[in-house]
Amino acid sequence: MTEAARPDRPRRARRGVIRLASETGEGLRIALSALVSNTLRSLLTTLGIVIGVMTVIAIVAIIDGLNQSFATQMGGLGAHTLYVSKWKWIMSGNDWWEQRNRKDMGRAEFEAVSREATLATAVAPFVSLDATLTSGQAELTRVRVRGTNQDYEVANGVTVAAGRFLSPPDVELSRSVMVLGPNLSDKLFPGLPAAEVVGRRLRVMGRPFTVIGVQTRRGRLMGLDLDSEATLPWTTFLRDMGAKRTISLAVTSEPGQGQALEDQLIGILRRVRRVPPGKPDDFSVNRQEQLQRLYHQLTGALYGVAIGVGLITLLVGGIGIMNIMLVSVTERTREIGVRRALGARRRTILLQFLVESSLVSMLGGAVGTALGFLVAWLLALTTPLAAAVTPGAVGLGLGFSAAVGLLFGSWPAWRAANLDPVEALRYE
């Protein structure tokens, strides 16, 4: 190539970009004109796209909302906490029968872990039952009452809105004190702010307790209302509610030390519980990741169903678009012939019909996206399901619809671009 010819390359590229932009703009104008002149047909054509995108967007919005809610709830378990228990959180097969026969955990396990787990930053024993709480004329039945110690505040991310949490002297002296969840405070002492509830007296299964604190609101976790729980010293719990109960442990570590702490806990507990070498553990170390894994498996299946239903509906909608575009090519055969005779290139005709099919599909996608969010919002408003509008969901709806338009509009566009100009001019 000569030196004189090299400057022509940028000019040709620039002219190509300008020509492409001009042809795209002209195709968009013609497409809008065709849609306006056949409004009812366009609406019926996009109906399948609207339903398909609406289905996908509604379910994606609900799942995103559930994901955000679940992540918030998982934060309530403590970011770096392991839960040691007689029971697994997630069981399968004959697990229940095997774990039912395990020896209960008790004070010996707690004291050994507190003394020997050097990687633990907090060790909280906890034991619970459903009890009746009374205050004056107010009575609440089947309230979750938990016995624990001062470390539970750190291990489970608990904070108080008024008063204080349990202290070491409360545990050591087995004091009859209690921290109430905000829902319990509202029901047992209606009309009183949290600060005035502190110091009030109530009864748990007939035994008197003094309220020393009211928790901040935490919401729900896997269907469990965390704001309707009462917390008291675990030593008091065992004294008043019965000592023969299995204890679980919440053990917290520094970030990145979770696996090392788990290994350390297994060694300590196997020794304390006298598990022979080669025998399986007779206790379980539970992690947040187990719940998260189960949750993502469930929502992954829901995602699959949503995408499957949406793709089937979009397939039907795409076939409808292809059918209408083929009819449009037939109706405008003479117009195509005139344009070809006046110098329009095949690429120009091809681009025109691709733009038209994509525009029809994207309009359907936009309407479907809006309706999908409306459905998700109504479900979030009227049911316990959560919903979240994310830019990714909007892009998903519009991207799906545009892809359907391009895919199913390709054959009609190719057919229009390859019409013989002479035969097209003769078409009546």
Q: How confident is the model at residue 215, as a pLDDT?
A: 93
For the cut 90, the answer to whether the pLDDT of residue 416 exceeds it is no
Q: What confidence tier does 222 reach under pLDDT thresholds 50, 70, 90?
A: low
Around Cβ 107, how many Cβ atoms within 10 Å? 13
Cβ(398)–Cβ(331) below 8 Å: no
DSSP state of 281: P
At 296 the three-state DSSP class reads helix
Query: Residue 219 to residues 66, 130, 142: CA-CA distances in angstroms?
Result: 13, 19, 18
Rounded distance, CA 365 to CA 54, Å?
Answer: 8
Cα angle value 84/90/93 (rounded, 5°): 120
Give 46-102 pLDDT, tens digit per residue: 777 888 788 777 877 777 777 777 766 666 565 578 888 888 777 666 776 777 778
Q: How confident is the model at residue 428, as a pLDDT?
A: 59
**Of the ranges 53-57, 75-79, 147-151, 397-401, which is most confident?**
147-151
For the chain, give every domain's residue range: 22-71+293-426, 103-282
Average pLDDT across the chain, whole number: 80
Q: How confident is the model at residue 28, as a pLDDT?
A: 64
Rounded distance, CA 385 to CA 66, Å?
Answer: 7
Give 300-346 pLDDT, tens digit per residue: 777 777 777 777 877 877 888 788 778 777 877 887 788 777 777 78
Cβ(352)–Cβ(345) below 8 Å: no
**Of the ranges 37-41, 43-47, 409-413, which is most confident?**
409-413
Comparing C-alpha atoms, which of 46, 108, 74, 23 is closest to residue 368?
A: 46
